[in-house]
Amino acid sequence: MKRRFFGGIHPSYRKELSVKATPSVAVIPKQVVIPMLQHIGVPCVPLVKVGDKVLRGQKIGDGDGLCVPVHASVSGTVIAVEPRPHPLGKLVTAVVIENDFQDTTVRPSESCGNAEDMDPDTVLGLIREAGIVGMGGAAFPGNVKALSAVGKADTLIANACECEPYITSDDTLLRTNPEQVLRGMQILSRVLQPKRAILAVEDNKQEAIAKVNGLLSEYTGIELSVLPTRYPQGAEKQLIQALTGRDVLPGQLPVSAHCAVFNVSTFAAIYRAVELGVPVTSRIVTVSGEAIREPQNFIVRIGTSFHDLIEVAGGLNDSTERVISGGPMMGIAQSDLSVPVVKATNSVLCLLKDRNGAAENPVCLRCGKCVSVCPMRLQPLYLYRFEKAGNAGELERLHVMDCIECGSCAFTCPGKLPLVERIRSGKQLLKEAKSK
């Protein structure tokens, strides 16, 4: 039975701007900047120094604890190891490599091969060594997430909802390389042994759906679930609710609802790591928005600057107002286009001035629309009000920390209240109050 998650909205999707038959290969940049932090957790320690020669795929940073390695995405010479701007808006230590344009590549890992012949620890080890993180934007280390679901998840979910407007990188992957995704699902299914393995896609990706449907008979044990398009269906908790009817309780992880959710790009990376022995050195990135001259998808080397990528896409329109890493609803606005594409960068979005932007005198009309669309069943108007009043106790009582910052409330608010900004600062207020 098809269910749907609570709340949600229908923004203008604008995906037609960037959908092309095949992604063009981006111009390989003269220089790449590889940040030592591209995952949630502890930053890598650089393993190379200025003057070192490196090969494509060579490990150039690694560390202990919640950490996965990073690899050179081109062959060449290390010209700097220093703090550089990062799409998260801070300075992060990075290895800067001058490209020799030879693309000399390291030999694939010796333990790679047919996953059917491997034990689960070997598979998880290969996933770690390839530097795989959640490539839908979450950037959580893939091996740690998979290990935490062993023996607990009865449902493995491949997330191809890509519900944010404009972004078509997962759609492009499914249209061009669906086999990699399906094989990645089979590989992880061998580790997790779920009862069901579901590839979830929204019904606005008909070509991808047809491609996957045509292959399913060759990949036993995998189901395709086509969901009605609705934002934010790609958020883990909402997707689990839509597919299984199960709720992930506040503060809990998907595994508490016996589910493990990975983005489809992550599954493709798992296939390449385990069976080909290839680490993450590139990914598909959507470059789109009304402010870019030639919107499309590119296969981009990790470490390519947003500036270089934008140039390959024809450059920015003169009236560009914002460049965002990610989508318009949950992405991060960038002030410095020297920031590099990292493993979790699915989109570089270039937008014109929003004619329906913030009102000069925002006012709450008490219409209740924000409450009806909030997928976390929160009361955004009260979160707004109590943040303004500096009332941490009420913010906690109203579960401000459960907000996934999806922006559905602000999108739908006729009073144009800056709800998400206020809720974000409400979270900070509560954290500070608790730390006293």
Residues that bind ligand SF4 (CB under 6 A): 364-370, 373-376, 378, 380-381, 403-409, 412-415, 417, 419-420, 423
Residue 409: how many other CB atoms lie within 10 Å: 29
Q: Residue 326 CB, nearest distance to ligand SF4 (Å)?
A: 15
Pairwise CA distance, residues 287 & 310, whole Å:
7
User: What minimum distance in Å lies between the beta carbon of 269 and ligand SF4?
Assistant: 29
- Going from the C-alpha of 278 to that of each of 59, 243, 269, the distances in angstroms are 11, 32, 8
Shortest distance, CB of residue 391 to ligand SF4, whole angstroms?
16
* Closer CB to ligand SF4, 368 or 393, in the complex: 368
Classify each residue of 154-179 as buried b or exposed e, where b means 16 or more C-beta atoms within 10 Å of its C-beta: ebbbbbbbbbbbbbbbbbbbbbbbbe
Residue closer to ligand SF4 by CB (options 80, 404) is 404
Toward ligand SF4, which CB reaches closer, 112 or 253? 253
DSSP class of residue 319 equals T
Q: Which is nearer to ligand SF4, 174 or 403 (CB)?
A: 403
CB of 402 to ligand SF4, least distance (A): 7
* Rounded distance between C-alpha atoms, residue 286 and residue 288, angstroms: 6
Q: What CA–CA distance (Å, rounded) separates 364 from 381?
A: 8
What does the alpha-carbon distance between residue 178 and residue 264 come to, in Å, rounded to a whole number? 9
Nearer to ligand SF4, 5 or 166 (CB): 5
| Residue 126 or 403 having the CB closest to ligand SF4 | 403
Q: What is the DSSP letter of 23?
A: P
Minimal distance, residue 32 CB to ligand SF4, in Å: 34
- What's the closest the beta carbon of residue 151 comes to ligand SF4, in angstroms? 31
Q: How far apart are CA 191 and CA 115, in angstroms?
A: 10
